[in-house]
């Protein structure tokens, strides 16, 4: 289990591993939970470098629900396919009903867990 002294990337990965199937979160929500609210791009960079780890990076989207990281999945539609297999509706590279399936680590995880 990661702790506060682990690298930022490892802390991101630990949070992402908690996102339930069929739910998504945003780069910014993860950054805010980790106490680095202005580091959404660093969370994105962590996701771009997670391909060899068991991290459900496909469940992390931008604040509008856009699949901005889809080109890092080895195919133009892989991210969308993974989400759709979990029941997430996608239209035009954007998560539908985002307000219903948004998973907020600040509300779902214990404060300062990571």
Confidence band for 2, pLDDT divided at 50, 70 and 90:
very low
What's the rounded Cα separation, in Å, for the pair 52 and 37?
A: 26
**Could you report the per-residue pLDDT of 54-67, keeping only the tens digit for each?**
999 999 999 999 99
23 CB neighbour count, 10 Å cutoff: 19
Domain 8-106 fold is: Arc Repressor Mutant, subunit A (1.10.10)
- Dihedrals phi, psi of 60, to nearest 5 degrees: -110, 120
Average pLDDT for the chain: 92
Instruction: Locate the domains of the chain by residue range.
Output: 8-106
Could you give the 3-state DSSP secondary structure of residue 29?
A: helix
The reported pTM is 0.91
In residues, how long is the chain? 114
Calculate mean pLDDT across residues 13-40.
Answer: 97
Look up tokens 């680590």; give the residue: 105
> Greater confidence, 10 or 2?
10
Q: Are strands 60-61 and 90-91 parallel, antiparallel or unpaired?
A: unpaired
């Amino acid at each position: 289990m990661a702790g506060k002294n682990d690298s930022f990337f490892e802390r991101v990965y630990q949070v992402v591993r908690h996102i339930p199937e069929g739910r998504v979160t945003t780069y910014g929500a993860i950054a805010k939970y980790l106490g680095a609210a202005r580091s959404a791009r660093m969370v994105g960079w962590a996701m771009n470098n997670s391909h060899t780890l068991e991290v459900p990076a496909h469940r992390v989207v931008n604040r509008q629900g856009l699949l901005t990281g889809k080109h890092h999945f080895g195919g133009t539609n892989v991210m969308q396919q993974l989400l759709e297999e979990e029941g997430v509706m996608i239209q035009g590279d954007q998560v539908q009903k985002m307000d219903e399936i948004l998973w907020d680590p600040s509300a779902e995880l214990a404060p300062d867990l990571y």
